[in-house]
């Protein structure tokens, strides 16, 4: 029987995983500087958390849920996104209480699951990094969080980015705009794709999200939501734009950009990349915005019920990162390569490896009995700093031979010296 991984999943092999670690560590470091702290919620949630949190009419809930009934007949789903779980946790753990950070600034890194038709860049298990600022009122939060995303991309070497923003205004503003959109699209319904016809029924704003060519032509002429904002919403949007300019962040306003979740209001934004890996298609690598009503929906207090967040797909960010960096990340080089030359040398090699690793150095020792020439070839290839040779002569004399690979110099070291004061012996080795 031959097994294959499930459709739409990937094995991240060690050479790739190094890049993932770099990306994730960079996120942790960057977000930490902005006073964001990690949260880890379960991989699965009650179905209702997602269906209520994301919205019944979204593609995620209506088509893409990886849901099932467990042995206790509970309706469970693998999480398709991170915001609803984080808000569920915020309310359940009363993270709005006085002893917690306010606004509550958090990030998550992990796998998400959507039952989609797998294709290039579209998986059933994919990975997201997301952040949420829960209980944040001010435009400063929006701008700080967008700046943080750009700072993160900069640290990854992703420089060719484009920031696009829009405002969805308040719930009332959206209600007016929704009607205007229905008035505009209604007479054209026959020309819309099937998907957009369905969206027009359920959630007209989402028609603007359509990727269909002919839909796009129609959408171009659609009314702008910016004409339906009240003065308060306009002021907020102007503040966001003013702050972005103060920070020297270049951006465009796209009045037809909407987001898929039902709870978005006011600022929405996307960061796009045209990196070569995307084959000439301007691709969104980070998307988010301000949302309200979700905390209350989950039973939390209204006074904190305005938040800002974004999510990015790691697989996509990786494509942009690789396109703009020619040096792929390598695994770290061994400090010491142990060449055990006889079967009897193996246990001394293992003891030495343990001692060296306790001193926080990286050791390569594979316990395959090889000749010296084969060991040296591998040590060279791995770019080891030192080689420790252990053969019959060394075993008999309670010593090891050290070769400094940079200078080519060799010297014997007694086991007694190494064991009694490893660091001073090591210092002498690297200065050979
Ligand atoms: P799309 O319109 O491409 O389906 P989306 O609106 O469903 O995107 P979001 O829910 O905003 O995407 O998720 C944020 C990011 O997560 C996306 O920009 C993308 O990078 C990534 N993403 C979403 N779905 C998938 C998937 N099935 N496979 C890989 N990455 C994904
Ligand atoms: Mg999608």
Nearest CA to ligand 1 atom 29: 122
Report pLDDT for 332: 80
Atom in ligand 1 nearest the alpha carbon of residue 313: 20
Atom in ligand 1 nearest the alpha carbon of residue 284: 18
Distinct helix (H) and strand (E) counts, the chain: 16, 16
Probe target for ligand 1 pocket from 66, 126, 286, with the most ligand atoms within 8 Å of CB: 126
At 211, the pLDDT band (50, 70, 90 cuts) reads confident
Residue 58 DSSP code = S
Q: Which domains does the chain have, with CATH numbers?
A: 14-169+229-324 (3.30.930.10), 336-430 (3.40.50.800)
Residue 119 DSSP code = B
Residues 149 and 271 sit within 8 Å (Cβ to Cβ)? yes
Give me ligand 2 centre to Cα 205, in Å: 15
**Percent of the residues in the chain that have a pLDDT greater than 90, as a whole number:** 74
Residues 362 and 332 sit within 8 Å (Cβ to Cβ)? yes
Give me ligand 1 centre to Cα 344, in Å: 55
What is the number of the ligand closest to the CA of 123? 1
Report pLDDT for 198: 87
**Percent of the residues in the chain that have a pLDDT greater than 70, as a whole number:** 98
Q: Which residues line ligand 1 (CB under 6 A)?
A: 81, 114, 116, 121-123, 126, 128, 260, 284, 287, 311-313, 315-316
Give me ligand 2 centre to Cα 231, in Å: 33
CA 24/CA 32 separation, integer angstroms = 12
Nearest CA to ligand 1 atom 19: 313
Give me ligand 1 centre to Cα 313, in Å: 6
Residue in the structure block whose two tokens are 């700093």: 385
pLDDT reading at 308 higher than 80: yes
Write out pLDDT tens, residues 60-94. 998 999 999 999 999 999 999 999 999 999 999 99
pLDDT reading at 262 higher than 70: no
In this predicted model, which residue has the larger pLDDT, 345 or 28? Answer: 28
Residues 310 and 287 sit within 8 Å (Cβ to Cβ)? yes
pLDDT reading at 313 higher than 90: yes
* Torsion angle (degrees, nearest 10) of CA 53, 131, 142, 160: -120
Atom in ligand 1 nearest the alpha carbon of residue 116: 27
Q: Is the peptide bond before 103 cis (omega within 30 degrees of 0)?
A: yes
Give me ligand 1 centre to Cα 63, in Å: 14
Write out pLDDT tens, residues 135-167. 999 999 999 999 999 999 999 999 889 999 999
Report pLDDT for 291: 94
Nearest CA to ligand 1 atom 16: 313
pLDDT reading at 398 higher than 80: yes
Check the CA dihedral 294-135-227-255 and report its sign: negative
Q: List, as one string, the DSSP characters of 162-206.
A: EEEEEE---HHHHHHHHHHHHHHHGGGGGGS-HHHHHHHHH-GGG
Strand partners, 46: 76
At 56, the pLDDT band (50, 70, 90 cuts) reads confident
Write out pLDDT tens, residues 264-290. 899 999 999 988 777 778 889 999 999
Report pLDDT for 278: 78
């Amino acid at each position: 029987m031959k097994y294959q991984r499930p459709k739409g999943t990937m094995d991240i092999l060690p050479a790739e995983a190094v890049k993932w670690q770099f990306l994730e560590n960079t996120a942790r470091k960057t977000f930490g500087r902005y006073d964001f702290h990690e949260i880890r919620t379960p991989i699965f949630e009650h179905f209702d958390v997602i269906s209520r949190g994301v919205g019944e009419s979204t593609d995620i809930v209506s088509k893409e849920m990886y849901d099932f009934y467990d042995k206790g007949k509970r309706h469970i789903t693998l999480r398709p996104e991170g915001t609803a779980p984080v808000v569920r946790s915020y309310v359940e753990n009363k993270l709005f209480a006085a002893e917690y950070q306010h606004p509550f600034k958090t990030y998550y890194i992990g796998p998400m699951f959507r039952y989609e038709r797998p294709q290039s860049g579209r998986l059933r298990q994919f990975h997201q990094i997301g952040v949420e600022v829960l209980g944040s009122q001010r435009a400063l939060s929006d701008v700080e969080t967008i700046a943080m995303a750009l700072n993160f991309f900069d640290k990854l070497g992703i420089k060719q980015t484009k920031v696009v923003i829009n405002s969805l205004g308040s719930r009332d503003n959206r209600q007016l705009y929704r009607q205007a959109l229905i008035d505009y699209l209604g007479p054209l319904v026959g020309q819309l794709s099937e998907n957009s016809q369905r969206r027009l029924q359920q959630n007209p704003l989402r028609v603007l999200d359509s990727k269909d060519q002919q839909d796009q032509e129609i959408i171009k002429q659609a009314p702008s939501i910016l004409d339906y904002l009240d003065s308060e919403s306009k002021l907020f949007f102007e503040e966001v734009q003013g702050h972005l300019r103060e920070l020297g962040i270049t951006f465009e306003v796209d009045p037809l950009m909407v987001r898929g979740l039902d709870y978005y209001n006011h600022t929405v934004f996307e960061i796009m990349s045209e990196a070569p890996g995307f084959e000439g298609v301007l691709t969104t690598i980070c998307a988010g915005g301000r949302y309200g009503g979700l905390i209350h929906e989950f039973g939390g207090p209204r006074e904190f019920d305005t938040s800002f967040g974004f999510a990015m797909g790691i697989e996509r960010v990786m494509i942009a990162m690789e396109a703009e960096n020619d040096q792929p990340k390598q695994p770290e080089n061994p400090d010491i390569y142990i060449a055990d030359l006889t079967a009897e040398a193996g246990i001394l090699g293992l003891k030495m490896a343990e001692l060296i690793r306790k001193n926080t150095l990286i050791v390569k020792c594979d316990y395959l009995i090889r000749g010296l020439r084969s060991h040296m070839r591998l040590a060279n290839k791995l770019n080891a700093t030192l080689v420790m040779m252990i053969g019959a002569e060394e075993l008999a004399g309670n010593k090891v031979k050290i070769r400094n690979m940079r200078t080519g110099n060799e010297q014997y070291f007694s086991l007694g010296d190494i064991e009694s004061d490893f660091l001073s012996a090591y210092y002498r080795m690297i200065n050979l």
